[in-house]
Amino acid sequence: MSDPLFDRLTLIGIGLIGSSIALAARQHGLAKEIVVSTRSEATLRRAEELNLGDSYYLDAAQAVEGADLVILCVPVGANEGVARWIAPALKQGAILTDVGSTKGSVVRQVQPHVPAGVHFIPGHPIAGTEHSGPDAGFASLFENRWCILTPAADIDPAATEKLSAFWRACGSNVDTMDADHHDLVLAIVSHLPHIIAYNIVGTAADLETVTSSEVIKYSASGFRDFTRLAASDPTMWRDICLSNKDAILEMLARFSEDLSALQRAIRWGDGDGLFDLFTRTRGIRRSIIEAGQETDAPDFGRHQSKS
Ligand SMILES: NC(=O)c1ccc[n+]([C@@H]2O[C@H](COP(=O)([O-])OP(=O)(O)OC[C@H]3O[C@@H](n4cnc5c(N)ncnc54)[C@H](O)[C@@H]3O)[C@@H](O)[C@H]2O)c1
Ligand SMILES: O=C(O)C(=O)C[C@]1(C(=O)O)C=C[C@@H](O)C=C1
């Protein structure tokens, strides 16, 4: 157990990520007091039943009063409204951060509302599951995962270091980078795989010659992996697609070109070309495993949300 890094931590939004932060902060003793706020009364009551915090508010502005760390854990499209709401109540010297999967849009939407004297440091833990809601959280979610922070050039390095220490205490490795670069990298490693999964599962669902019961009955592990990603929260992924539009379209264009090349190789029986590509990609998978970033067979079913 570490010494508390913060006196009062406020979490706005208490779904998968908010509840996992609450549990990790509690387990590692990172805050003397955890305040929870969310917009729906039912979710707030559920968070209370799960004992995720010490106090609970529907009013986000009340919830941030006196907090020295405020973490926005809402879908990226909701950040601006929340920022506008809480801005007048933020304490001088507080650190304000978020966990959104995209960073450029969060900066553009939140920064204009941040009062002078508050340190706004956008963040993104690269850890999650396809489940959502307060029941889905677990304290070890961030262990051995990366958390990317995208502080602006004029942010006090001591504030960035304090937030980094928080994430390290949750078990994460911390990197800092520019928000736009984050969005380009995440477009290929996270956003595109989800979009492809939504698309392939949609294609299977629309087939006329293969029935949906056959898709369910014979789905082998490859297709099942896609269905896990395609079961992710629709609001979250709608917001990601809308807020990281340019980087996603750029990666989709490259993907389409490469898919056309693959299509050509199959059409013309280019076995060598296929073998070379599959050998190269197998190497990437092996590098991921060697780097300790592989999470085969996680029992995420245990953390399934009821809400
Ligand atoms: N799920 C993942 O794998 C994952 C991983 C890393 C980052 N993220 C990011 O974390 C954020 C939260 O994702 P999650 O998976 O925890 O989602 P979730 O759906 O489990 O939880 C979202 C929470 O936000 C609340 N909420 C929604 N709109 C709100 C508003 N206007 N005001 C107050 N509360 C509001 C909901 O009631 C809920 O408590 C998103 O920005 C997402 O991009 C998600
Ligand atoms: O493992 C999963 O289910 C996830 O989709 C998690 C995942 C990812 O793509 O790795 C999804 C979105 C987040 O912003 C970060 C992590």
Each domain of the chain, given as residue ranges in start order, spans 6-177, 182-296
Q: Which residues of 64-85 are buried (b: 16+ CB within 10 A; e: fewer)?
A: beebbbbbbbbbbbbbbebbeb
Fold of the domain built from segment(s) 6-177? Rossmann fold (3.40.50)
Cβ–ligand 2 distance for 126 under 6 Å, the answer yes
Kindly state if the Cβ of 197 falls inside 6 Å of ligand 2.
no
Residue nearest atom 2 of ligand 1, based on CA coordinates: 128
Ligand closest to Cα of 81 equals 1
Cα→Cα distances 57→37, 41, 68, Å = 5, 9, 17
171: left (phi over 0), alpha (psi -120 to 50) or beta: left
Can you point out the beta strands (E) in 55-195?
A: 55-57, 69-72, 95-98, 119-120, 123-125, 146-149, 173-176
Would the CB of 190 count as within 6 Å of ligand 2?
A: yes
Q: How many CB atoms lie within 10 A of CB 175?
A: 13
Q: Does ipTM exceed 0.95? A: yes
Residue range 204-228: mean pLDDT, rounded: 83
pLDDT in tens, 233-256: 999 999 999 999 999 999 999 999
Average pLDDT over residues 135-160: 97
Residue 172 Cβ inside 6 Å of ligand 2? The answer reads no
Using alpha carbons only, give the angle 108, 61, 237 rounded to the nearest 5 degrees: 45
Q: Which amino acid, 199? A: N
Q: Check pocket membership of 73 for ligand 1, CB cut-off 6 A.
A: yes
Q: Which atom of ligand 1 is nearest to the CA of 235?
A: 19
Query: What ligand has the least distance to the C-alpha of 100?
Result: 1
122 lines ligand 1 (CB under 6 A): no
Name beta bridge partners: 95. 69, 119
Task: Work out which ligand 2 atom sits closest to the CA atom of 193.
Answer: 9
Over residues 190-205, mean pLDDT: 95
Q: What is the pLDDT of residue 2?
A: 64
CATH for the 182-296 domain, from 3.40.50.300, 1.10.10.10, 1.10.3660.10, 3.40.920.10 = 1.10.3660.10
Q: Which of residues 231 and 205 earns the better pLDDT score?
A: 231
Calculate what percentage of the chain has a pLDDT beyond 70.
94
pLDDT of residue 304: 39
What is the tens place of the pLDDT at every residue in 95-119? 999 999 999 999 999 999 999 999 9
- pLDDT at site 234: 97
Cβ–ligand 1 distance for 74 under 6 Å, the answer yes
Distance 21 CA to ligand 1 centre (A): 12
Q: pLDDT class for 301, splitting at 50, 70, 90? A: very low
59: pLDDT strictly greater than 70: yes
* 96 CA distance to ligand 2 middle (Å): 22
User: From the CB of 79, is ligand 2 less than 6 Å away?
Assistant: no
233 lines ligand 2 (CB under 6 A): no
Q: Per-residue confidence at 1, pLDDT binned at 50, 70, 90?
A: low
CA 264 to ligand 2 center in whole angstroms? 31
Which atom, in ligand 2's list, is nearest to the CA of 189?
A: 9
pLDDT higher than threshold 80 for residue 221: no
